């Protein structure tokens, strides 16, 4: 149908938990790209919330009918699944531009809607169709309304690359409790460490904020969330490709050993530069988070408290790298992944690879299998410390032990770029989608320091 039918885009592509794919909102509909399906079944409409449908169609319009009536015309079609009919110009539009996959089945009978200047309106599972003499049949612009409502809280609706929500950093010395509901009495889901990234998923009111962090969903107290300012970028002339360079995300201590019980050497302030010579396992300050950075001066800093600020640019490929065809270069030191066509870099982005004890294995590989929407359970490398991790989109396995490139919806632009996985190659949404579209089974991967 294109823009003439669906309207112009109102958002960038975005991730939403449980959606089963990647979402993008247009004026008249929100579409889902499901990488588990082959074209054209990989694109479908996103189901409207029941309260949205009910607010538009009256109870009488939503009342099921027994079938097509004598006055409905020969083209009338009855859908026993929902108990409603479809006929006339609305039926022609529905069948011509996507039918069930895009619009869903009718969940009301046609009715005159005063809110749309008396247009004949019919509600479907995924969209609203309107017919009038002035404009013919069109999709009601629900997407425009959603864009206006979401523009202040969801970066996907702003004219900037999406981050799947509004990112904050935890500002609590003793950690912040992620709870199952907006109450101090709600069960604690996880304890989030200082400087952990928290992604606020929806608008909120009062002192509790819904969202997710580290693969867990829940609520946190708003008083302990800090805006995540950008780190001062490292100048290209100061970049040393042989080491990892970054900066402090806030006040943090350099210690003589990788432990909060060790003597403090120095206190870093926000933006202070750090150079990491090794990533080591140390004190598990929080569950599943025992990664420490060994600095060039011999001290140690908790890895959660620093972020990468070095350039995101391709480096000269190793001498033994492929010289023709498509291949993928992963630089473990720099936490960069580059798509190459021969010796020409096509795209370079930040990634998160395996942390100490779970290092991503260096070597030559190739993509063995691909799963558009993976569920990883306890014991799988990609599941990390979670019992069950769902909606792992664009998963491309390159070892038989479970190492894979994949979208990691629990990571953000603020904190990707340092080790932290159990060996997989974590990517942000746009980057995971690019490598999914660009690579295929058999594409070579070269992983090196």
Give the residue carrying structure tokens 């190793």.
318
Q: What is the mean pLDDT of residues 414-442?
A: 94
Confidence category of residue 380, pLDDT binned at 50, 70, 90: low
Listed range (262-271, 354-363, 408-417) with the worst mean pLDDT:
408-417
Q: What is the mean pLDDT of residues 302-325?
A: 95
A 10 A CB-CB count for 124 gives 26
259 with 367, same domain: the answer is no
Its pTM stands at 0.70
Instruction: Provide the pLDDT for residue 384.
Output: 62
Confidence category of residue 350, pLDDT binned at 50, 70, 90: very high
403 with 338, same domain: the answer is yes
Give the residue carrying structure tokens 């509909």.
29
Q: How many CA atoms lie within 13 A of 85 on its CB side?
A: 18
Confidence category of residue 202, pLDDT binned at 50, 70, 90: low
Is the pLDDT score of 443 beyond 50?
yes
**pLDDT > 70 in the chain, percent:** 92
Instruction: Provide the pLDDT for residue 334.
Output: 98
Confidence category of residue 215, pLDDT binned at 50, 70, 90: low
**Domain-located, residue 319:** no
How does strand 404-407 pair with strand 425-427?
Answer: parallel
Instruction: Provide the pLDDT for residue 157.
Output: 46
Instruction: Provide the pLDDT for residue 158.
Output: 41
Listed range (207-211, 346-350, 376-380, 413-417) with the worst mean pLDDT:
376-380
Is the pLDDT score of 419 beyond 60?
yes
Could you tell me the two tokens for 350?
Answer: 């930040």
Residue 182 belongs to domain with CATH number: 2.30.30.40
**Domain-located, residue 171:** yes
Is the pLDDT score of 329 beyond 90?
yes
Is the pLDDT score of 151 beyond 80?
no
**Domain-located, residue 66:** yes
φ and ψ at residue 248, rounded to 5 degrees: -75, 140
12 with 140, same domain: the answer is yes
6 with 62, same domain: the answer is yes
Residue 418 belongs to domain with CATH number: 2.40.440.10
Instruction: Provide the pLDDT for residue 410.
Output: 81
Is the pLDDT score of 279 beyond 80?
yes
Bigger pLDDT: 269 vs 275 = 275
Listed range (277-291, 316-330, 358-372) with the worst mean pLDDT:
277-291
**Domain-located, residue 411:** yes
Instruction: Provide the pLDDT for residue 234.
Output: 96
7 with 112, same domain: the answer is yes
Q: What is the number of structural domains in the chain?
A: 4
143 with 12, same domain: the answer is yes
Instruction: Provide the pLDDT for residue 428.
Output: 94
Q: What is the mean pLDDT of residues 393-419?
A: 91
**Domain-located, residue 314:** no
**Domain-located, residue 33:** yes
8 with 140, same domain: the answer is yes
330 with 378, same domain: the answer is yes
Rg of the chain over Cα atoms, rounded to whole angstroms, equals: 25
Instruction: Provide the pLDDT for residue 160.
Output: 30
Listed range (12-21, 237-246, 305-314, 330-339) with the worst mean pLDDT:
12-21
209 with 269, same domain: the answer is no
Listed range (57-66, 196-205, 292-301, 350-359) with the worst mean pLDDT:
196-205
Is the pLDDT score of 148 beyond 70?
no
What is the pLDDT of the chain when averaged over all its residues? 89
16 with 138, same domain: the answer is yes
Domain final position from 227, 260, 275: 227
Is the pLDDT score of 205 beyond 80?
no
Give the structural domain span for 251: 245-306
Listed range (254-258, 368-372, 387-391, 443-447) with the worst mean pLDDT:
387-391
Instruction: Please state, in angstroms and rounded to a whole number, the distance separating the CA atoms of residues 299 and 258.
Output: 8
176 with 301, same domain: the answer is no
Instruction: Provide the pLDDT for residue 417.
Output: 97
436 with 345, same domain: the answer is yes
Is the pLDDT score of 204 beyond 90?
no
**Domain-located, residue 25:** yes
**Domain-located, residue 31:** yes
**pLDDT > 90 in the chain, percent:** 66
Instruction: Provide the pLDDT for residue 294.
Output: 98
């Amino acid at each position: 149908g294109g823009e003439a039918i669906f309207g112009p885009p109102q958002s960038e592509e975005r991730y939403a938990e449980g959606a089963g794919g990647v979402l993008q909102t247009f004026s008249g509909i929100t579409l889902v790209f499901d990488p588990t399906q082959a074209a054209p079944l990989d694109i479908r409409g996103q189901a409207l919330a029941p309260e949205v449908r009910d607010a538009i169609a009256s109870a009488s319009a939503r009342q099921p009918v027994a079938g097509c009536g004598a006055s409905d015309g020969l083209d009338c079609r009855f859908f026993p699944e929902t108990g409603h009919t479809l006929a006339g110009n609305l039926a022609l539009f529905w069948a011509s531009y996507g039918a069930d996959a895009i619009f869903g089945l009718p969940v009301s009978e046609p009715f005159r809607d005063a809110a749309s200047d008396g247009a004949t309106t019919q509600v479907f599972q995924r969209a609203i169709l309107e017919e009038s003499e002035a404009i013919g049949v069109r999709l009601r612009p629900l997407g425009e309304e959603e864009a206006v409502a979401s523009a202040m809280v969801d970066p996907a609706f702003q004219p900037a690359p999406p981050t799947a929500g509004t990112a904050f950093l935890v500002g609590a010395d003793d950690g912040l409790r992620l709870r199952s509901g907006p109450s101090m009495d709600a069960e604690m889901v996880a304890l989030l460490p200082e400087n952990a990234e928290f992604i606020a998923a929806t608008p909120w009111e009062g002192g509790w904020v819904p969202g997710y962090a580290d693969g867990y969903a829940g609520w946190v107290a708003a008083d302990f969330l800090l805006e995540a300012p950008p780190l001062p970028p490292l100048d290209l002339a100061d970049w040393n490709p042989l080491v990892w360079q970054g900066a402090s995300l806030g006040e943090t201590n350099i210690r003589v050993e990788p432990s909060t019980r060790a003597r403090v050497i120095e206190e870093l302030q926000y933006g202070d530069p750090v150079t990491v010579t090794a990533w080591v396992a140390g004190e598990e300050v929080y569950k599943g988070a025992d990664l420490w950075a060994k600095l060039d001066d011999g001290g140690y800093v908790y890895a959660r408290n620093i972020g990468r600020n070095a350039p995101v640019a391709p480096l000269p490929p190793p001498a033994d790298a492929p010289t023709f065809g498509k291949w993928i270069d992963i630089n473990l030191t720099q936490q960069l992944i580059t798509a190459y066509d021969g010796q020409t870099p096509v795209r370079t982005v930040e990634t998160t690879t395996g942390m100490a004890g779970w290092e991503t294995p260096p070597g030559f590989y190739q993509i063995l299998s691909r799963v558009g929407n993976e569920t990883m359970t306890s014991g799988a490398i990609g599941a990390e410390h979670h019992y069950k991790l769902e909606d792992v989109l664009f998963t491309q396995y390159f070892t038989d032990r479970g190492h894979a490139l994949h979208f990691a919806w629990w990571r953000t632009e603020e904190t990707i770029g340092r080790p932290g996985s159990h060996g997989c190659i974590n990517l942000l949404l746009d980057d995971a989608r690019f490598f999914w579209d660009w690579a295929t089974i058999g594409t070579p991967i070269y992983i090196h320091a």
